[in-house]
Amino acid sequence: MLSLYETLYRTFTSPYSVSSDFARYRAQEIAALASMGLITTKVGRQEYGRTWRITEEGIETLRLEGFL
């Protein structure tokens, strides 16, 4: 479970490209975080970018777990 929080924290501190080496290495964690709604590539109403970013729910999760 710690690697999920580490990946979430990394997304908060340094967003990364969907095709970056980090995204490839942490693909399972990123898939889990995205399915939980903690990270997203969404940048507008119906617009998606190429960078993973943390959501408000993700920030709240980091606060609750003591990462912030």
Distance in angstroms (rounded) separating the CA atoms of residues 6 and 44: 26
pLDDT tens, residue by residue, 1-51: 669 999 999 999 999 999 999 999 999 999 999 999 999 999 999 999 999
pLDDT of residue 32: 97
pLDDT of residue 28: 96
49, 56, 58, 66: which is closest to 30 by C-alpha?
58
Distance in angstroms (rounded) separating the CA atoms of residues 12 and 27: 17
**How many separate domains does the chain show?**
1
pTM of the predicted structure, to 2 decimals: 0.91
Per the structure, the complete domain to which residue 14 belongs is given by: 2-64
The CATH number of the domain holding residue 28 is 1.10.10
Whether pLDDT at 58 is above 70: yes
